[in-house]
Amino acid sequence: MTHDVLILGGGPAGAAAALQLARAGHRVAILEKSVFPRFHVGESLIPADTDVFRKLGLADLLTPDRLPQVRKDGVEFRTGDGAHGSRIKFADGLNPRGAAAVSFNAERAPLDAILLQAATNAGAELFPDARVEMILRLNDGDVAVQTAAGRFEAKYLIDATGQGAVVGRHLKQRRHFDSAALKKVAYFGHFCNVNRDHALGDDEISMILCDEGWFWMIPVNSTRVSIGMVLDADVAKDVQRRERVPNHQMLAWGIARCPLIRSRTQHATFPERNRVASDFSYTCAPYSGPGHFLIGDAAAFLDPVFSTGIFLGLEGALDAADRLDRVLKGTLTPARARVGYNRFFKSATKHFFKLIQAFYDPAFRDLFLDGTGPLKMHRAAITLLAGHVLPKPPFAVRWRMAAFYACVALQRKVPLVKCKPAHSLLTTPIEERIRPDTISRAAHRSEARTA
């Protein structure tokens, strides 16, 4: 047996796990189906990612001179017609002492390549073009897989294959969350020459809300912006059937019907084809079992609305690697390692999952777009959006979020703030235009209210 641990997937989660285990002196093989660099969506990071990079000792490798990036210290939320909106700044959260209050956006190809290189520099072996074809054995101390590059054996396995969820599918554990609101499909691509005046600053990303879903706008560098549209799966299917819109043109279809996005992209260069991702929001629980641990999207995938994917992948990688290190050194039993990891991952995801479910509630959007709230409730929500949830949110955050969710429930029955229609992509004529001065005034009013 030539390796102690097989890691399936060389993305951020797999690279972080490999880095930690190799540093601890274990023989690690990374089996990656692709050859890096490769395109990957998910360019927006949250402040908690910055904290994890510091834990990993990688902060010096991720500076602007080594990794092209755009500073991110907040998020703009706005309705598709530009009429309502608010901005948040991560520094305004009830953040733990010393926690990061700023993050960055970066293309995933160079970011992932840096993380993977750090893992191989620490001693992990990389096997590209090694797509897993079959799981042969999963036992404590004895695992084996068949790949396109041959057969590999080790003592343990970590699945970091993202939405491929190789082990979860093999064990038939992959299940979608029982929520119709989370059945989504995303269409996305990189655009050049997007108008970044007024609302879309260099230090924040934009989330544009519509009745049928939402758009993201993420500045990636000085010329390019990542734009994506997330729709209810049933809406997307109906549009394609009724209007005969092909999959690769759905993003252009949505932009044409969203006045705010259309205004910001009127002089932009569009990609010829948008990319597509679906099957949002699933779990492969339990997140570990005999001979294996599941990390990142291979364990569970939450709707990407709050950019939590890399954070959960990195934190899961650190926790799984630490427990597996102790198992391999004989100071922790495999059974106890599994219990601890399953509890950790469930705790790490539950706060985000509840926030994501609430996001699709119109009452939540009404309150959130209002900008501020009593008893610093908006600051508690900002803390969660920054990712400061581990080992668990501070009590000051937890009770305020409980109060905030109670206000959401009350907003459904007795409006606490004025309802804010999110704009419909299905009922707005394509030829409708939004005046830039209207966007500016709406943004100014929102900033003044938030301040």
Give tens-digit pLDDT for 309-319.
999 999 999 99
Q: Which residues contact 306 (CB under 8 A, 6 or more apart)?
A: 46, 352, 355, 356, 359, 385
Give tens-digit pLDDT for 419-443.
988 899 998 665 544 333 333 333 3
Domain spanning 5-69+106-176+281-350, CATH architecture: 3-Layer(bba) Sandwich (3.50)
pLDDT of residue 445: 33
End-to-end CA distance of the chain: 61
pLDDT of residue 198: 54
Give tens-digit pLDDT for 327-342.
999 999 999 999 999 9
Question: E strands of 290-371, at which residues?
Answer: 292-294, 300-301
Give tens-digit pLDDT for 25-80.
999 999 999 887 788 889 999 999 999 999 999 999 999 999 999 999 999 999 99
Please compute the mean of the pLDDT values over residues 345-365 and round it to a whole number: 91
pLDDT of residue 438: 35
Q: Which of 202-211, 291-300, 303-312, 371-380 has the highest mean pLDDT?
A: 291-300
Please compute the mean of the pLDDT values over residues 171-197 and round it to a whole number: 87
Give tens-digit pLDDT for 189-228.
999 999 877 544 557 899 999 999 999 999 998 889 999 9
Buried b vs exposed e over 228-242: b needs ≥16 C-beta within 10 Å?
bbbbbbebbeebbee
Residue with tokens 């950019």: 307
Cα separation, 215 vs 82, in Å, equals 13
pLDDT of residue 11: 96
Q: In Å, how far from its chain's centre is CA 278?
A: 14
pTM over 0.75: yes
Q: Is the pLDDT of residue 135 over 50?
A: yes
Question: E strands of 250-364, at which residues?
Answer: 275-278, 282-283, 288-289, 292-294, 300-301
Region class of 375: left (phi > 0), else alpha (psi between -120 and 50), else beta: left
Say which amino acid occupies 209.
L
The residue ranges of every structural domain in the chain are: 5-69+106-176+281-350, 184-278+426-435
Our separate counts of H helices and E strands in the chain read 13, 21
Q: Is the pLDDT of residue 1 over 70?
A: no
Per CATH, the number for 184-278+426-435 is: 3.30.9.100
* Dihedral in degrees, nearest 10, Cα atoms 297, 11, 51, 393: 0
